[in-house]
């Protein structure tokens, strides 16, 4: 008898060690589309993002480039299917005067980047350089207008310069500067963080300013079809969203922004690579707070806009840590570990699941700054774990969100808990169903059972991103330490999938 009990316990041991989670995929209940613009990026004049990042100058003989922009970055971003790229900031945007960045490069005035290290910039990367870069990578530009220190005239001129065919001094100037056809830029930010670096305004004051700027960006009926984004709330400032939705006429408002970063503690961010489990847990707690933030900002927007015409635009998100030792503290250059892959996977799942309202988002920043997808060092370039998650997940772009019922276990640390598994699912235009799963638990494997409703699958394949430790990262010496691999941990039987998720892993499954 004793032996029997012992053998039974032994047989059950693997299941006892595996945490159990249950999902139901409702493949017949899809209603909303996951806009590809949720996969947007952000190129700010900050540290080595533009200068010595994207832009290495036309006369650079060591680093292959196209009109001064690194060719390896162009290729990497094309593969990523970047849908839109926000520029030139960030805080920088409200100090930027676009007219200083057009025309012959040797005649452009220089400027001081006051927010980011007080460095002098020569304006050699300007409007033409950015918009041509967007064309090369196939991304829509998202121009962030200067409200804080600019003028209504300046922003209105920028719209004419880049969008109008001909017939104005602005269009003549563009043609003289070498560009015949307009670029037709649709997405425009009207100031950035105007509650802080963009002017320290109160929401009521900004709502009025917004109305003025937005009026002169278009004609009576917005025949340019601009998508104007109001500078939005800092994290949980719900009153900000309330005032904007109440005080700005909805025919002049296409999007309201929201910024939310993930960190250990704002005043004590800690190393990007050498962090404890406690620091990891705290970072994931702030990252997962995105669920509460988009839910609550959306609820306020629903009150004023039940038809959901105005988008919630999460145009800054990502992990924020201490800079890499020995680098300029104002340049915000940080490494990117598997922790960042966890942030990327869970955040994108949250944004997918709120795609009825969240229709644009931008991870900060593309190259050499916060949660970057690309890091460079001289001639070397590497792709971060965040890049790989965004590449694996891009199957969801413009796909139909398929609702999931989710019952998952906890990742516990001390007396605190977070949901261990995050998930989202969609069906693409070719009918393929994809399910994205993240196990944020650094030590426990998660067994996930997915009941498939409304779809009959014949097979399943997948890709996985993981590594031995959550602190692992790709370095210039070992750039491919973390990269996607084929995944064989999913078994399909009848209408049920059994998926085994290793600790700290991101998996994307495709049903056949």
Active site residues: 193, 316
Distances (CA, A) of 311 to 21, 146, 230: 32, 21, 10
Q: Note whether 140 and 133 are within 8 A (CB).
A: no
Radius of gyration of the chain (CA): 24
Beta strands in 348-473 (DSSP E): 358-364, 374-377, 380-383, 400-401, 404-407, 410-413, 416-419, 421-427, 433-439, 446-453, 460-465
- Shortest distance, position 93 Cβ to ligand AHR, whole Å: 8
Burial level of 10, CB count in 10 A (0-12/13-18/19+)? Answer: exposed
Q: Note whether 54 and 43 are within 8 A (CB).
A: yes
Q: Note whether 351 and 314 are within 8 A (CB).
A: yes
Question: Reduced to 3 states, what is the DSSP secondary structure of residue 124?
Answer: coil
- Shortest distance, position 178 Cβ to ligand AHR, whole Å: 30
- Shortest distance, position 320 Cβ to ligand AHR, whole Å: 8
Nearer to ligand AHR, 193 or 441 (CB): 193
- Shortest distance, position 411 Cβ to ligand AHR, whole Å: 28
Pairing of strands 227-234, 255-262: parallel
Burial level of 266, CB count in 10 A (0-12/13-18/19+)? Answer: exposed
- Shortest distance, position 351 Cβ to ligand AHR, whole Å: 18
Nearer to ligand AHR, 93 or 155 (CB): 93
Q: Note whether 451 and 496 are within 8 A (CB).
A: yes
Distances (CA, A) of 357 to 83, 287, 303, 344: 18, 19, 13, 19
Max CA pair span of the chain: 94
The residue of the chain with the least Cβ separation from ligand AHR equals 90
Pairing of strands 460-465, 485-486: antiparallel
Nearer to ligand AHR, 213 or 411 (CB): 213
- CA 404, 457, 431: angle at the middle one, nearest 5? 75
Rounded distance between C-alpha atoms, residue 382 and residue 312, angstroms:
32
Nearer to ligand AHR, 84 or 446 (CB): 84
Rounded distance between C-alpha atoms, residue 461 and residue 497, angstroms:
11
Rounded distance between C-alpha atoms, residue 333 and residue 449, angstroms:
40
Residues lying near ligand AHR in the complex (CB under 6 A)? 44, 89-91, 192-193, 316, 364, 370
Nearer to ligand AHR, 91 or 217 (CB): 91
Rounded distance between C-alpha atoms, residue 33 and residue 21, angstroms:
26
- Shortest distance, position 228 Cβ to ligand AHR, whole Å: 18
Nearer to ligand AHR, 316 or 441 (CB): 316
Nearer to ligand AHR, 84 or 422 (CB): 84
- Shortest distance, position 314 Cβ to ligand AHR, whole Å: 12
Nearer to ligand AHR, 43 or 155 (CB): 43
């Amino acid at each position: 008898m004793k032996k029997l009990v012992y053998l039974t316990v032994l047989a059950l041991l693997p299941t006892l060690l595996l945490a159990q989670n249950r999902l139901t995929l409702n493949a017949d209940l899809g209603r909303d589309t996951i806009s590809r613009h949720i996969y947007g990026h952000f190129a700010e004049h900050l540290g080595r993002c533009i200068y010595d990042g994207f832009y290495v100058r036309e006369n650079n003989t060591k680093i292959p480039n196209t009109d001064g922009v690194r060719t390896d970055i162009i290729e990497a971003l094309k593969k990523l299917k970047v849908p839109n790229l926000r520029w030139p900031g960030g805080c920088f945007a409200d100090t930027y005067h676009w007219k200083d960045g057009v025309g012959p490069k040797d005649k452009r005035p220089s400027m001081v980047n006051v927010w980011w290290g007080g460095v002098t910039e020569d304006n050699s990367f300007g409007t033409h350089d950015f918009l041509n870069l967007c064309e090369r990578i196939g991304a829509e530009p998202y121009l962030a207008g200067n409200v804080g220190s600019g003028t209504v005239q300046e922003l209105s001129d920028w719209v004419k310069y880049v969008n109008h065919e001909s017939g104005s001094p602005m269009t003549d100037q563009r043609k003289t500067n070498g560009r015949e056809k307009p670029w037709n830029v649709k997405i425009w930010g009207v100031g950035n963080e105007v509650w802080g670096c963009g002017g320290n305004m109160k929401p009521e004051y900004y709502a009025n300013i917004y109305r003025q700027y937005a009026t002169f960006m278009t004609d009576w009926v917005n025949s340019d079809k601009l998508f104007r984004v109001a500078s939005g709330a800092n994290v949980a400032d719900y009153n900000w969203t309330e005032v904007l939705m109440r005080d700005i006429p909805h025919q002049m408002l296409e999007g309201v922004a929201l910024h939310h970063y993930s960190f250990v503690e704002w005043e004590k961010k800690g190393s990007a690579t050498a962090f404890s489990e406690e620091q990891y847990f705290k970072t994931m707690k702030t990252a997962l707070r995105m669920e509460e933030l988009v839910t609550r900002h959306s609820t306020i927007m629903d009150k004023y806009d039940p038809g959901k015409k105005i988008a919630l635009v999460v145009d800054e998100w990502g992990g924020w840590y201490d800079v890499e030792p020995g680098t300029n503290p104002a340049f915000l250059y940080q490494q990117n570990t598997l922790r960042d892959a966890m942030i990327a996977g869970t955040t994108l799942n949250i944004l997918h699941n709120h795609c009825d309202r969240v229709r644009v988002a931008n991870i900060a920043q593309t190259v050499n700054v916060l949660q970057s997808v690309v890091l460079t060092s001289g001639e070397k370039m590497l792709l971060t774990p965040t890049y790989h998650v965004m590449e694996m997940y891009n199957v969801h772009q413009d796909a139909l969100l398929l609702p999931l019922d989710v019952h998952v276990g906890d990742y516990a640390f001390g007396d605190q808990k977070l949901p261990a598994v995050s998930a989202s699912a969609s069906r693409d235009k070719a009918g393929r169903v994809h399910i994205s799963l993240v196990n944020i638990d650094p030590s426990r494997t998660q067994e996930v059972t997915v009941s498939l409703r409304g779809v009959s699958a014949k097979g399943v394949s997948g890709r996985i991103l993981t590594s031995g430790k959550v602190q692992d990262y790709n370095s210039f010496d070992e750039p491919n330490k973390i990269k996607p691999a084929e995944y064989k941990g999913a078994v399909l039987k009848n209408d049920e999938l059994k998926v085994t998720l290793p600790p700290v892993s991101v998996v994307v499954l495709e049903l056949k």
